[in-house]
A and B are shown apart, each in its own frame.
Chain A
Amino acid sequence: MISLIAFATLAGVLVGVSRQVNGRLSLSTSPLVSSFWNHVVGFVLLSVIGLGLGGLIPASAAAAPWYAYIGGPLGVIFVAAGSWLIPRIGATNTALLIIGGQMISGVALDLMSEAPRPLFASVIGVSLILAGMALTQRR
């Protein structure tokens, strides 16, 4: 369990490291170029790992609908946006505001898809995040 907790925390740290390193590259190039290299390097590494472990492309993957692949191009915009944000508002604000957007849009998605979610707790959570965002911003 200790190692699982370490893994999950390390995953968060690595998200930050990746944003910081891509941010440095985008200073010398541009956010889109930085995102391009991020995807090239990630693709090569995952190919090596997948081929090493075997079964990189499961047979069942052929049944995936075309729109499931939209996540890739969206990821390019996501990584580029992170590189644009880091030098402007810093690593902490970037992480906090992206997490806030993810949480609130996640609640909205659950409400639209009628996934069960306690309304009262969701309202409290969203209110706290919006208050934090208002505090972050310059008046």
Chain B
Amino acid sequence: MWQRQPNLRAMSDQTSARPTLIPVLAAFATGCLLTLMVHFNGELGRYGDPVFASWAAHGTGTVAAAIWLGIGWILTKASPFATSSHGRAPLWAYLGGISGAITVILTSMTVNSPLALSGTLALGLAGQVGFGLVADRFGLFGMPRRKADLRDYAALALIVAGSAVIIFSAGWAA
């Protein structure tokens, strides 16, 4: 954070362009993956509780990631932990898992409250999108800056409105 990173400068100019099809489809597919993930973790939470489910998912995830990294290491004969052209990562960059763990604790509290699942989803969506706008505007945590234009805000309004319709209509069906 405190050191100048010329590569990021070049990168921010590059990413201020509109996304191409591949990352858009990849992000959409990632959202589909999230539905499966939430489904399986929900199953685990039904037998245990939400904190147990997240703990177990982080544990099995650690093992899976270690195996995949090991396979990659053998196949490419290059250590996955070698540093790239961006230099060593600052120490705080290793702590992303902390906010993920706290998220689980918070949502397990709000889902079982008057907010229920729909309120938790809707407010979480607002939090994510609001943070995204600030993060892009200022390039928070050493990521590239990205300026939103009118078309970005129109896309934002459509996706947020569509999501809100889906979230809040879920309970209507008789």
Contacts and interface: CB of A to CB of B under 8 A. Distances in A.
Interface string A15-53: 111111111110111101111111111111111011001
Given A91-B131, A95-B129, A105-B31, A41 B155 contact: no
Contacts of A27: 8, 84, 86, 89, 142
Contacts of A132: 154-159, 162
Contacts of A137: 18-21, 24
A43 B59 contact: yes
Interface in A93-110: 93-107, 109-110
A89 B140 CA distance: 14
Interface string A107-121: 101100000111001
A93 B27 contact: yes
Most-contacted residue by chain B among A23, A42, A56 (CB, 10 A): A42
Interface size class of B (residues with CB under 8 A): 35 or more
A45 B98 CA distance: 7
Contact of A47 (B55, B104, B133, B148): B55
Given A25-B89, A36-B66, A56-B51, A70 B40 contact: yes
A92 B164 CA distance: 17
A45 B151 CA distance: 40
B158 A135 contact: yes
Contact of B96 (A22, A72, A136): A22
Contacts of A95: 128-129, 131-132
Contact of A14 (B44, B64, B103): B103
Contacts of A20: 96, 135, 140-141, 143
B6 interface: no
Contact of A107 (B11, B52, B98, B166): B166
A68 B157 CA distance: 35
Contacts of A42: 54, 58, 97-98, 100-101
Given A28-B83, A102-B34, A136-B18, A46 B44 contact: no
A74 B106 contact: no
A129 to B, nearest CB: 4
A30 B62 CA distance: 15
B17 A138 contact: yes
19 contacts: A8-B107, A8-B115, A11-B107, A24-B90, A34-B96, A39-B65, A45-B98, A50-B55, A63-B47, A69-B56, A71-B41, A71-B53, A99-B31, A109-B39, A117-B173, A118-B173, A129-B162, A132-B162, A138-B21
